[in-house]
């Protein structure tokens, strides 16, 4: 993140903190695509995604004054989203996920050409913490230090979570590397 964009973010958030609805609308439109993508990959139900996204942005509206700029604004907003997503994932695991999680891990691993459902099932087999670190690294492109700030945990914890997630995904999706090579050949 450049200093200029950081300064712009701070200025925008300062206006939101002063109750500027126009600035909030600008901020919402700026973050809605990223937050929606992030939440949508973690939560299967689009309606829940929109509700959680609005929960996140309501906290941003209420707490904008409290932001001190110790981290980038995106890290702060994703930190709020992380906690809201965690709550939603846990409540889904409690009430709905037996269906998804019932997919046998061995059956996923045996699949020679995993499709979207199998990969989704493999990700569901990761713990919420591990899923989050995979999501934030591979899809949202955060550094380990940013992820530590987002998840409010030490950097070493982020690295350890990623290590376990990688090992689990390798067991669950051993065919992916082969599929990727085939795909590369097809597109060569």
Partner 1 sequence: MNTRKLMPHEEAIELLPWLINDSLSGDERDTVLDHARSCVICRRETKALENLRDSVKRVISPAPIPAPDMRNINARIDALIHRQNLGRRWLSWIAEFCVSPWRIVFVAQTVLLVVLGTAVLWPTTRNAEFTTLTQSQDLADGHYLRVVFSPDLTHARLGVLLDDLGLAIVDGPSERGVYTLATQNSMAVAERDIALTHLSNHRSVLFAQPVDLGAAP
Interface with partner 1 (CB under 8 A): 19, 21, 24-25, 28-29, 32-33, 36-37, 40-41, 46, 50, 54, 57-58, 61-62, 114-116, 119-120, 123, 137-139, 141-144, 146, 159, 162-163, 166, 169-170, 173, 176-177, 179-181, 183
Q: By the 8 A CB rule, do 57 and 106 touch? A: no
Q: By the 8 A CB rule, do 134 and 125 touch? A: no
The distance of closest approach from Cβ of residue 145 to partner 1 in the complex, given in angstroms and rounded to an integer, is: 9
**Cβ closest to partner 1, residue 3 vs residue 94:** 3
The distance of closest approach from Cβ of residue 127 to partner 1 in the complex, given in angstroms and rounded to an integer, is: 17
Q: By the 8 A CB rule, do 162 and 145 touch? A: no
**Cβ closest to partner 1, residue 94 vs residue 175:** 175
The distance of closest approach from Cβ of residue 97 to partner 1 in the complex, given in angstroms and rounded to an integer, is: 17
User: Rounded to 5, what percent of the chain is helix, strand, coil?
Assistant: 80, 0, 20
The distance of closest approach from Cβ of residue 166 to partner 1 in the complex, given in angstroms and rounded to an integer, is: 7
The distance of closest approach from Cβ of residue 57 to partner 1 in the complex, given in angstroms and rounded to an integer, is: 5
**Cβ closest to partner 1, residue 50 vs residue 100:** 50
Rounded distance, CA 97 to CA 54, Å? 23
Rounded distance, CA 23 to CA 188, Å? 46
**Cβ closest to partner 1, residue 90 vs residue 167:** 167
- 68 in helix, strand or coil? coil
Q: By the 8 A CB rule, do 1 and 72 touch? A: yes
Match 């009430």 to its residue by tokens.
95
């Amino acid at each position: 993140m450049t200093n200029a964009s950081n300064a712009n973010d701070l200025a925008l958030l300062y206006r939101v903190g002063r109750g500027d609805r126009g600035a909030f609308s600008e901020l919402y439109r700026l973050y809605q695509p990223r937050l929606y993508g992030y939440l949508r990959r973690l939560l299967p139900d689009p309606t829940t995604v929109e509700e959680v996204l609005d929960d996140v942005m309501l906290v941003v509206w209420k707490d904008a004054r409290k932001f001190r700029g110790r981290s980038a604004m995106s890290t702060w907003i994703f930190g709020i989203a992380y906690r809201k997503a965690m709550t939603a994932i846990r409540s889904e695991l409690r009430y709905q996920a037996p269906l998804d999680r019932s997919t046998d891990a061995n059956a996923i691993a045996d699949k020679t050409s995993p499709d979207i459902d199998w990969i989704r099932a493999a990700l569901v087999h990761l713990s919420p913490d591990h899923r989050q670190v995979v999501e934030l690294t591979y899809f949202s492109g955060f550094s380990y230090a940013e992820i530590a700030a987002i998840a409010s945990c030490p950097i070493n914890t982020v690295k350890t979570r990623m290590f376990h997630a990688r090992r689990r995904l390798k067991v669950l999706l051993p065919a992916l590397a082969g599929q990727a090579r085939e795909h590369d050949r097809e597109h060569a």
